[in-house]
Amino acid sequence: MPSLTVKLPATLDKKLRATALKRGEKISALSRRALQKEIAEGAPDFAKLAANYKGMFHGPRDLSAREGYGR
């Protein structure tokens, strides 16, 4: 398996080591799982991000339907 060297801020390193110790697993296994999760999630879904604002705004759904639009 290829290896990867990553520089972490001290606070993140401390949290990573504490979490691995608490779960009784190796740091490398925890890191691999976290990276896989991050990559699998990909870019944020706009619909999920905007869900809290649904129905908050009023107006026509299609501005091109407004009379005189584009003149």
Residue 32 belongs to some domain of the structure: yes
| 29: containing domain | 10-55
Q: pTM here?
A: 0.56
Cα 36 from chain centroid (whole Å): 12
Say if 45 falls within a structural domain.
yes
Total domains in the chain come to: 1
Domain assignment present for residue 61? The answer is no
Q: What is the pLDDT of residues 20-46, one digit of tens each?
A: 999 999 999 999 999 998 888 777 778
Quote the CA–CA distance of 30 and 10 in Å, as a whole number.
Answer: 17
| 70 domain-assigned | no
Report H helices in the chain.
Answer: 10-23, 27-41, 46-50
Contact 20, 30 (CB under 8 A): yes
The single residue listed with the structure tokens 């979490």 is: 19
* 51-64 pLDDT, tens digit each: 888 877 777 666 66
